[in-house]
Amino acid sequence: MRPLSYARIATVLITVLGIAGVANAQDRTGWPTSFTVGTASQGGTYFAYGSGWGGIVADELGISGGAEITGGPMQNMALVHTSELPFGMTTLGPAAESIAGNNPIAPGLAMTNACAMFPMYQTPFSITALSSSGIKSIADIPAGARIGFGPAGSTSDTYFPRMMELLGVDFERRNGSWTDLGSQLQDGLLDVIAFAAGVPVPAVSQLEVQTDVNIIEFTEDEQTRIAATFPVSNFEIAADTYTTLAAPARSVSMWNFAIANCDLLDSFVEAVVNIIMSDNERMVNVHKAARSTLPEFWDRNTVLKWHPGAAKWFTENAGANIPSEQIHGG
């Protein structure tokens, strides 16, 4: 068994035939004949978003593309760093911890061979409870509440328990896929789910259809306290994100970036970035969170070295001024 492959759960392959005309003129010497994108659990934004951009790239390049279910950002950093997967997605907080050697999958290993490829979106931290629970604020969460924090090692599981502790919440920690946790909430096996995922979170949208829920926002004081302690910024979940919301909901968020193994061919990575960055409307059709998948947000990456192929695209097409020391091999 290859290192780290024990954590791989399943693979969803998206195979597309035909070669897009724009790709025919490219020199593909050394390009792979297939690729896989590390995402996260089903029912979460990473899986929907990653499956979508993997499918778009496969369609445009005429090669087989796949989205693999993983444990999320921490595991994606490990899989991409070790070349188990060519592509993945990560939040910048877990990326920083992985680079510093604090990834729980391989403690002490500085994961510096995972490079930034393109900006994805911000991950808001949000809380959902059944309306019948009477929980309308963080202060309402009872002592000993059973809180689902998502897959073990995910961005949510890494940061949300610490945030709850900072705010004085006493809880029992539960893990699982977002789909499973949504079912457990509906069945009364959980009191709260603490989501860190691009919005709308599919599992929350599904819950809204099936039952009445409360989407709990942070108070301004809670936002301030969290932002002073963690690598997040204030964020508002738009009112039209969920049918439950009548007004924007205060939250905090962390940026996500697509990542590539730093040793991938520059021309291949540049072609992938060009496809995603050149057609935002198509990405938004994949998931609304992709409204932020825009070239001008290249500068939100303050953690990862850039893949040379990605840096070339942003320099030539988005006016990016990326110092050579922030580019892998530079």
Instruction: Give 145-188 pLDDT, tens digit per residue.
Output: 999 999 887 889 989 999 999 999 999 999 999 999 999 999 99
Query: Average pLDDT of 121-145?
Result: 96
One-letter amino acid identity for 233?
Answer: S
Checking if the pLDDT of 36 tops 90, the result is yes
Could you tell me which residues come within 8 angstroms of residue 21 by beta carbon, excluding any fewer than 6 positions away?
none
∠ CA 316-308-31, rounded to 5°: 105
Instruction: Give 58-105 pLDDT, tens digit per residue.
Output: 999 999 999 999 999 999 999 999 999 999 999 999 999 999 999 999
Q: What is the mean pLDDT of the chain?
A: 91
Cα 73 to the chain's mean position, in Å?
Answer: 7
User: Please, are residues 253 and 122 in contact by the beta-carbon 8 Å criterion?
Assistant: yes
CA distance 75 to 4: 9
Joined together, the tokens standing for residue 149 give 């924090």
192 membership: H or E segment, kind and range: strand 192-196
* Residue 236: predicted pLDDT: 95
CA distance 98 to 105: 9
* Residue 173: predicted pLDDT: 97
Residue entry with tokens 């580019």: 327
Percent of the chain exceeding pLDDT 70 equals: 92
Could you tell me which residues come within 8 angstroms of residue 127 by beta carbon, excluding any fewer than 6 positions away?
138, 192, 193, 194, 195, 215, 216
* Residue 2: predicted pLDDT: 44
One-letter amino acid identity for 183?
Answer: S
Joined together, the tokens standing for residue 195 give 């989501």
Residue 25's pLDDT band, with cuts at 50, 70 and 90, is: low
Alpha helix ranges (H) inside the chain: 21-24, 45-61, 73-81, 92-99, 155-166, 178-186, 202-210, 220-227, 266-277, 280-286, 308-317
